[in-house]
Amino acid sequence: MVIRADTQVYKGQVFYRIGNLPYINRKGREVVIEHWRSSCLKCDELFTFTLPQRGEFSPKRHCDIHKKKSRLKVLRTHEVA
Ligand SMILES: [Zn+2]
């Protein structure tokens, strides 16, 4: 299994690995998930998230507040129209 470096740059945004967490998957097996930290692209607020250790590195890029904003914007546009 490929172990990722503790620092990743994804589309110009920097991510730091805080650590790995043991996790029980649906089959009852213990697997490891990675715990990552970065700062929101919009407000610079620190946030953390977890990712599976396998597969592509597809990180979150915004804090919880700003990840929902795009959905609100779509609703608002719909109301006006
Ligand atoms: Zn934010």
Ligand 1 centroid to Cα of residue 78, in Å, is 24
In sequence order, the β-bridge partners of residue 30 are 24
Q: Does 76 score more than 60 pLDDT?
A: no
User: Which DSSP letter does residue 62 get?
Assistant: S
| Structure token digits, residue 76 | 């608002």
> Sheet of 46-52: strands edge to edge?
7-10, 13-24, 30-39, 46-52
pLDDT in the model for residue 54: 82
- The domains of the chain are located at 7-80
The single residue listed with the structure tokens 């805080």 is 18
Q: Per residue in 11-67, pLDDT tens?
A: 999 999 999 999 898 999 998 999 999 999 999 999 999 998 888 899 999 999 998
pLDDT in the model for residue 74: 55
Q: Which residues surround ligand 1, an ion (CB under 5 A)?
A: 40, 42-43, 45, 63, 66
d(CA 48, CA 27): 26
